[in-house]
Amino acid sequence: MVKSRFSSDYIFPLLSVFVVSFVLSLFLLQLIGGVIFFLWLFEKWDEKKKTLDILTFTIFIFGSVRLLSIFFSAFPSESYEALYKEALFYVAFVFMCFYLKTLDKKTLLILVLIFIIGATTMSIVGITRFVFGNVDRAQGFSSSYTVFSSYLMAALGLALFFPRGIQNNKSLFYWSIIILILFIGILSSLGRTNILISVLLIITAVVLKRINWKQVLLLTALFAGLSTLYFYSSEKQMESKVENRIENFTQLSDRDIIWKGAKEIFFEKPIIGFGPRTFERIFPFWDQFADKKIGGWHNDFLQIYFESGLLGLFSFVGLLIVSLIVSIKQIRNKKIDADLRGLSTSILVTLIALILSAITAGFITSVVLSIVFVFLISILSRIELDKIKTVN
């Protein structure tokens, strides 16, 4: 275990607030992140060195390439914004990677559970705002519906595969409620890709017997009851929004124009890209968009390629592959504690879900979702420490 200068009585509450503030308040997220990073600065260097691993290395490579693409940007004024807007991603990885390694297994599992419960609470908030017509789609207080949906999807993946040990009827009921609330929150955000991925997550959990038949029946009954209540009591305006999304399920939301523009400029800056946050300056068919508020490529792989070139794309894909491989190796390593292997399984499933969502949206350049990604891979890094300990 890594030893901190500071008591866990201070560190754990700070981490807990940090992991529940993702879509609650961006200001709170940045404030708590800054406080924890400030504490990290005073930790012993010998202890910091213990946190270095392959995940740290791949994050460093990716960050270095992003920094290069900022300095060599074709539009420096736009790209320099990334220096502070993406800073929290790297800062968070530094302190999360360190402080999660100061936690024992039980405390680590509690922290993940706090994240899940926090997401469930925010799902209720988003659903309530949507039902009462405060927003067109369910969302939190500091994020768009797309970010909100992906955040809940990550929590759903963790909840479905979270190591629960032997369950009684009460715990089965509680977990069923959590899963249902998260799923309804995703449905209410009306994000078609994330809804589809979430359905696949639930089916996978059923097939792999992470949800037993009692939970399946309970979830089906609860969902049927709530659906009936919705159709009998929902406002016509809200109902029309849902029906419109269903009727236009195959609509591309200007993505066909995005791909057309990508083909047009694909080979113009292949090595280091145009620089971060330059989409509006480089896109060639802006006048063809129905939605003039589009601010990115709606695809993480295209986004990273056009912003940071092949160097950025390779480092990003490398980071994803390394994360998946680390998780798979942990799951297959019988010497690692069973609960930690179960936790690694939940991380693997959630990472795959985020990667799939990155094809039509993105997470790595989102302030909120990139920190969720950091949280996930920091947990993997913490489990790696346990793996090293069992080898020694």
The per-residue pLDDT for range 91-148, each reduced to its tens digit, is: 999 999 999 999 999 999 999 999 999 999 999 999 888 888 788 888 888 778 889 9
Tokens of 117: 């419960």
For the stretch 197-201, contacts whose Cβ atoms lie closer than 8 Å and that sit 24 or more positions apart, written own/partner, are 197/153, 197/353, 197/356, 197/357, 198/153, 198/156, 198/353, 201/153, 201/156, 201/157, 201/160, 201/349, 201/353
Cβ–Cβ under 8 Å, residues 96 and 378: yes
Using the structure block, give the residue that is written with the tokens 């059923």: 206
Radius of gyration of the chain (CA): 21
Q: How confident is the model over 333-348, as a mean pLDDT? A: 94
**Model confidence band, residue 383 (pLDDT cutoffs 50, 70, 90):** very high
pLDDT tens digit string along 290-309? 766 777 888 999 999 999 99
Closest CA to 215 of 200, 197, 198, 202: 202
Q: Is the pLDDT of residue 24 over 90?
A: no
Q: What's residue 250's pLDDT?
A: 45
Cα torsion angle, 302, 307, 310, 314, sign = negative
Cα 193 from Cα 196, distance rounded (Å): 5
Give the pLDDT confidence score for residue 367 in this predicted structure.
87
Residue 328 has pLDDT above 90, yes or no: yes
Q: Please tell me the pTM assigned to this model.
A: 0.91
Domain boundaries, the chain: 8-391
Phi, then psi, of 43 in degrees rounded to 5 = -75, 155
pLDDT of 53 over the 80 cut: yes
